[in-house]
Amino acid sequence: MCDSFGGGLGRFRESSHVSNSNLCRELVEVEGGTDWKIRKLEEKYEEICWKYPGSSVIVNYHMNRLQNLEEQESFDENLKIFYAKVSHFVSPVEISLQPKYLRSARQGIHRQMNAFYNSTCLKFQKDQIFPGVACAAKESDVWYRAKIVQVSGDKHIVVELVDIGIQHLIPSSSIQPLLRRFGRAPPLSLKCRVDGVSINDLETKDLIDFKKIVENCNALFRVELKSTIEPFLIDLLHPTISNRNVCQKFMPPPEDLGKIERLDRNWIQHCRKVCNEVDDDEDDIWNHNWAGDRNNENDVKQVTSIKIIHRLAKCQKAPRFDTDQLLVGHIENSQIIYLHYPWQLKTRHKIENHLKDSWETLPVLSQNLVEDQIYAVILHQEKTRKYRRAIYINQKSLLLLDYGIYIEMNCDNILLEIRLLPDDQLFKEPPMLTIISLAGANVLQPAHHSETQVLRNIMKNDDIVYFQWDGKSKNTPMRGFLYTSDRQNISTILSETLLKNRQNIGCRQLVKQYFKIPTTYGNSNHIYRNSCHQSYSKGALLIFPDE
């Protein structure tokens, strides 16, 4: 029994795993898996321990005891905290703890195991060695309770020392079957992570600082458990200074409450636009008199400066719900696809009509064009005049902001007129598009032209599509899966089409090829872009007076 090891392990007996004496097998089990193999071994070799009880036995006992104590009127908050030793760590989100009150139990198991295995030799059969099996492992001439993590060939095995929480690579000859009496106690080290700390917020210097904290405290801390799921959430407190969280410096700053309120308002506005609940009066606003209030007789000072929009806010992020209907815009490649919500197309139409109606009143250029600034442009193409918002990229090109299309400044069949954009509610609307990237697209190398051509044949402008976010990417363009209106996966269609046409987009080698029949490839002047313009992903509304 667990009592034979000392340390009060008998308290966990009622919380341990179900005895193998229960022969009920009404549950359907899949043959061949790890659990199935271990269950068969338990039935055949009852004197051997093949699997440990979960360490959650200790945590559940601790939590249940606290719950009973909290119901008492004289409950002491210090009872929530216990001392523990850090036996192994990598960072604040990967820590192995040894509760100090289980020290005598660990010593009892350790003493009895070494007395037994130093005088006895048990052997595993070859088919009994696989990941997940409990065992006794010898490391530096000392025997420990362990669990097989990985079989590395015929001569070496990776094991985890369950009472320490560290992994070692040892020879296959250094493991033996674990007797059942040594395996009744759960693993006596707890895999934990500090509550409130994210691995994405940690840098190399933070890992060095955490190592110094552990060394300065001699690896002994006061610990408060906050969850019952491994890895267990904890607060790591200083061993002598009351209520001092030693990992407070690694936590992100508190959330800006004003920012949360703004996000809530933006979300409500987005939902209203999606449901077409926005009144026309809210969008068709053009009553800002940037030349001054001439109707006010008391205002004798005339405003001569005009507020000019230099940059817009970033564009609408891709939906996180695959029920939102989107329309295909411009396809740059598999890494950059421009889509539109229906309400974005309506707002874009209003912006362009407003540009057309107010063109003569827009301020003219008083200086040279500025890179990455937003302007109003007219595209004179043949007999048509198109009014657009655009970003000046360089002397050669402009980016049509609401389309995601680059145009050449000195194109023969396009003439440009450019003016400044004044501070107007409708002109300040963010770019009217949503940018996504297909999951699986290789962002480390340029997109293949053949792949882009197939995508443009699969999806035409204004086709209805649905986007399913992959749950990992956070920034624009967000990665995910694109589906047609009848829920066919675009990536699957793309792969099948490339395979059918025998096009290998992974090939990047240029070779000389000869044709007996003349072949026309069309325009070969392609610019491959791996990322969208920074205004789409990092834009921030900037308005300055134009002197």
Q: State pLDDT tens for residues 344-385.
A: 999 999 999 999 999 988 988 877 888 888 999 988 877 788
As a whole number of angstroms, the distance between CA 130 and CA 147 comes to 10
For the cut 70, the answer to whether the pLDDT of residue 2 exceeds it is no
As a whole number of angstroms, the distance between CA 114 and CA 124 comes to 18
Which residues, 6+ apart, have CB-to-CB distance to 16 below 8 Å? 53, 57, 184, 186
Residue (of 391, 388, 345) closest to 372 by Cα position: 391
- H or E segment at 269? helix 257-274
pLDDT digits (tens, 9 = 90+) for 145-196: 999 999 988 889 999 999 999 999 999 999 999 999 999 899 999 999 999 8
Where does the pLDDT of residue 276 fall: very low under 50, low under 70, confident under 90, or very high at 90 and above?
A: low
pLDDT digits (tens, 9 = 90+) for 230-274: 899 999 999 988 888 999 889 887 766 666 677 777 777 777 777
CB burial class (10 A; 0-12, 13-18, 19+) of residue 47?
exposed
Angle at 251 between CA 250 and CA 254, to 5 degrees: 150
Contact 443, 530 (CB under 8 A): yes
Residue 516 confidence (pLDDT): 44
As a whole number of angstroms, the distance between CA 143 and CA 140 comes to 8
Higher pLDDT, 304 or 72: 72
Higher pLDDT, 175 or 515: 175
As a whole number of angstroms, the distance between CA 306 and CA 294 comes to 15
Please give the single-letter amino acid code of residue 544: F
Alpha helices by DSSP H, listed for 118-229, are 180-183, 204-216
Higher pLDDT, 400 or 31: 400
Provide the token pair at 139.
Answer: 């490391």
Average pLDDT, the chain: 81
Which residues, 6+ apart, have CB-to-CB distance to 147 below 8 Å? 52, 132, 133, 134, 135, 159, 160, 162
- 268 to 261, 263, 284: CA distances (angstroms): 11, 9, 20
- 422 to 68, 280, 356: CA distances (angstroms): 66, 21, 14
pTM of the predicted structure, to 2 decimals: 0.46
- 427 to 169, 205, 417: CA distances (angstroms): 64, 45, 17
Backbone phi, psi, residue 153, to 5°: 75, -165
Please give the single-letter amino acid code of residue 399: L
pLDDT digits (tens, 9 = 90+) for 483-510: 999 999 998 998 888 888 887 777 656 5
Provide the token pair at 33.
Answer: 């898996």
Residue (of 247, 315, 259, 314) closest to 91 by Cα position: 247
- 431 to 79, 236, 271, 321, 437: CA distances (angstroms): 56, 46, 17, 21, 17
Burial annotation 116-152 (CB, 10 A radius, 16+ → b, else e) = bbeeeeeebeeebeeeebbbbbbeeeebbbbbbeeee
For the cut 80, the answer to whether the pLDDT of residue 5 exceeds it is no
pLDDT digits (tens, 9 = 90+) for 25-75: 455 566 777 888 998 999 999 899 999 988 888 888 888 888 777 777 666
Where does the pLDDT of residue 443 fall: very low under 50, low under 70, confident under 90, or very high at 90 and above?
A: low
Task: Write the DSSP assignment of 385-419 as a string of letters.
Answer: EEEEEEEE-SSSEEEETTTTEEEETT-TT-EEEEE
The region of weakest confidence among 5-9, 322-326, 387-391, 424-428 is 5-9
Average pLDDT score over residue span 14-31: 51
Within 10 angstroms of residue 39's Cβ, the number of other Cβ atoms is 16
For the cut 80, the answer to whether the pLDDT of residue 304 exceeds it is no
